[in-house]
Chain A
C-alpha cells in the first residue's frame, strides 16, 4: 500500500458517441504528494483534463464510461465510494479552479456570498463564514476586502476574479487543488501574479497542486514534476527540468522544438521604402473613454509589424479602425497614399480587396452553414472582377494547396476541420482577394503551440512568395519575437514604444515593455528559476 495523497492507477475513460467510441484516456497512471506541484501538459484533445474530471466526478456518464482503473485518495478508491462520501470530498478535501473565472462565478450573487457558500454548504455557520471570507479575500490579494465582499463578479477584473475563484477553492483548506488552465485567459503580467500566489498558498498550506496546462512556460514556472499527454496516453513523465532538457519521446521533442522565442530575429527592412500604410494621429473615443489615443505608425511593403499589449490596450481597436469596422474619431490612415479614414463607401469597397483580415477564433470567423468552397468563393461573388466564374474551382484548389490543405476539402464544412486547418481556410479566404496587407488579430492565439508554429511559418512563406505586409496583433511576446520585423508596444490606448524587433527585445526603453518581457514565461525551468531569484532580490524577501 502506498501512502500517496492521490494516485491514479491505470485509468481508462471512454466516451460513447454516435461516431463510435472515443478512448479519451487510456491506461493513465500518475500520483501527487503533499506540497507537490504536478503539471499535466498536453494540447487540445490530448485528454489532459479528463483524469482530473474523473477525480471530481465531473464526467457525464453516459456518454462517458470509466472502463478500468482506480483513483486512490489517501488510499481509498473514490470511484467505488458512495455519492454522499464523494460530495464530502469534493470542495472540502479536493477543490478546483477553472480557466474562465467569469463563467464560473454566478453573476447575480455577491462574491462574498459565493465564497461563503462553499463553507456553509459544509456546515460552517454564517457569521464565521463571512469573517473567514473576508480574511481569505485579503489573503488572495483583493484590495479592501471589507467592502469588496459585497461586490458582484462584474465589478472585478479578470485577474481579481481568478483570485476570488482561488479564495473559494481554498475556503475549506483542501488537501488538493486542481487548477485547469488557471491563467490561460489572463494577461502575461497577471498570469505571473496568479502563479506566484498559487505557489505561496501552497507553501503555506502544504496542499498538493495539480495543474492542467498547455503552456510549457507555466510548467517551467511552477511545476515540480510533469506528465506529458498525447492522444489520451502519457508519453513522458519526469521533473520539469528533465523533460525540458532531455525529452525522450518524439512527441515531447516536437512540442519543445515548436516553442517560439528561440529563433533568429528578423532584420529590419530598409526604411527608405515608401510605406504601404501610414497612420498619423489615429484616435478613437467611445463616449468619454479614449480607446485609441493619437497612434502613429507605418507599415512597409513586405513587412510584418507586430502590435503587442495587454487586454484593453487598444490594439484591436487600432485594427478595427484601419479596417473601417469602427469609425475613427480623428486622424488619418494613408493606404498607398489614399486616406482610408475619410473614404466614401465606393472607394472603400475597392480598397477591401487590398486589406484583409484573419480573425482570432477560426471557429467563429467561418460561417458554419457554408461549405469551404462557398466561403472562399464569396470573395469572387462580392468582387466579380477578380475572376471569371469558370475558373473559380481551379483557383480554390490552388488556394487550398497554397495554405497546405487538399483540393477535395472544398466540399466540406468548417466543423469537419481542426482549429489549425480552419485558420488555414481563413487565410485562404483572405488570399482569395489578392490583398497587399493582412491584419491578423490574435490569429494564432487560439491554437496549440505546434499548430501555431505551422501557421506562422505558412504566413512567413506567403510573405516571401507574394510580398504581403502583415499587421500582426498579439499578446504573446515570444511568438512576435520570431515573426515580426518591427514591434509596437501599446498600453491604455497609447503607443509607448516602437522599434525593430531586436531593439525591443534586447534593449527595451520603457518600463512597461521591460515588465511585459519579464512577465512572459520561458519554457526553460532553469531560466525561470533564475528570474524568480532575481525578482526576490529586487523586491526584498517578501516577494
Chain B
C-alpha cells in the first residue's frame, strides 16, 4: 500500500536513512567531523577530487560538512523527536480531558494553556535554561512545554465536536465507560489531525532549538545540530553559502518527508479513504 504513493515511499526511505545516520553516524564519523583542517577552510562543494566527506564542502574551520550533517542528525532528531513526542502526548491527553469532562477541569486546563501561549516561548526557554543546566534533556523539556498548547487546543476543539456525534451517543446508550468512549471512539477520529500537526511542528522545534543554541543556551559546541550549523554559517552567507544551505536543506527534506508520510498514513488509516491507495496499486499491477 505504501508503494501506491510514490512520494511517501521515497520519503520513508529518506527518513530511514536519517534514522540510520542518527543511530550510527556519531559512532562512524565523530572523529572526521570534529577534526579541523585549516587548508580546507570554507572549501566549496562538488570538488570530487577530495575525500568523499568533503563533497558538500567544508566549514569555517575546514571540517567536512557531509560528515558534520551525519553526526549532527543524532542530536537534532533526539531533541526534535523528544520534544514533539512529549508535547503531543501531554497535549492530547489534556485536550481530551478538557474536551470530555466537566466544565471546571476544562477551564483550569484551558487557562493553563493560555498562560503558556501568552508567554513568549523563547523567553520562557531562556529563563528555564538559564536557571537549569543546559543539557539535551532540559532542552527537550522546555521545547515540549512551549508546544503543548498547540495539541491541547486542537484536541479539545475536535473532541468537543466528536463527542456530540451520534456514534458516541450510541456507545453511551450501550453503557460504554468514559475511558472506552475516549480511547475507542474519540481518539481515533482526532488523532490523524494531531499527527499532521506534529510533523509540521517537527521543523518548528528544530528551528527553535537552533535559535536557543545560537543564543548559547541550547546545545553547545563541540556538540552539533543542524540548526546550530545553520546559525554558524550565517556570517559567511555572502562568501560561502553552502555552510548554511546543506543543513537547511536537510531540515526541509526531513520535514517534507514526515509530512508526506503523515499524509499517506492519514489516508491509509481511514477506512473510507483507504481505497485510494488500493486502487492505484491495482492499476499499476
Contact = CB atoms under 8 A, between A and B. Distances in A.
Contact of A325 (B173, B269, B275): B173
A349 interface: yes
Contact of B180 (A323, A366, A368, A382): A382
A356 B173 contact: yes
A368 B176 contact: no
B173 A368 contact: no
Nearest to B280: A18
Interface in A350-371: 352-353, 355-357, 359-361, 364-371
A378 B271 contact: no
A18 B271 contact: no
Contact of B173 (A323, A370, A381, A413): A323
A442 to B, nearest CB: 11
Given A323-B173, A357-B173, A383-B175, A366 B167 contact: yes
Given A349-B175, A364-B165, A357 B271 contact: no
B175 A369 contact: no
A429 interface: yes
Contacts of B172: 325
B100 to A, nearest CB: 15
Residue in A364, A367, A382 whose Cβ sees the most chain B Cβ within 10 Å: A367
A379 B174 contact: yes
Contacts of A349: 175
A122 B279 CA distance: 46
Interface size class of A (residues with CB under 8 A): 20 to 34
Contact of B174 (A361, A371, A433): A433
A415 interface: yes
B171 interface: yes
What's the dominant secondary structure at chain A's contact region?
loop
Interface in B168-206: 169-177, 180, 184-185, 188-189
A323 B167 CA distance: 15
A367 B167 contact: yes
Contacts of A366: 167, 170
B115 interface: no
Contacts of A348: 175
A365 B166 contact: yes
A356 B166 contact: no
A356 B169 CA distance: 11
A126 to B, nearest CB: 40
Contacts of A353: 175
Contact of A382 (B165, B175, B275): B175
Given A352-B173, A361-B166, A366-B167, A18 B276 contact: yes
Interface string A333-349: 00000000000000011
Given A352-B173, A364-B165, A366-B167, A413 B279 contact: no
A56 B237 CA distance: 57
B272 A382 contact: no
B169 A365 contact: yes
Interface string A318-332: 000001010000000
B270 interface: yes
B162 to A, nearest CB: 10
B174 A415 contact: no
Nearest to B192: A369
Residue in B166, B174, B269, B279 whose Cβ sees the most chain A Cβ within 10 Å: B174
A539 interface: no
Nearest to B167: A367
B169 A415 contact: no
Contact of B176 (A19, A357, A360, A382): A382
Contacts of A378: 171, 174, 176, 184
Complex A-B, nearest 10 residue pairs according to Cβ-Cβ distance, in ascending order: A352-B175, A413-B271, A365-B166, A364-B166, A415-B272, A367-B167, A357-B173, A369-B188, A359-B166, A349-B175
20 contacts: A323-B173, A325-B172, A325-B173, A352-B175, A353-B175, A356-B173, A364-B166, A364-B167, A366-B167, A366-B170, A367-B185, A367-B188, A368-B189, A369-B269, A370-B184, A378-B184, A379-B174, A382-B180, A413-B271, A426-B170
Given A352-B175, A364-B167, A378-B184, 7 more contacts: A365-B170, A366-B170, A367-B171, A368-B272, A382-B174, A382-B175, A415-B272
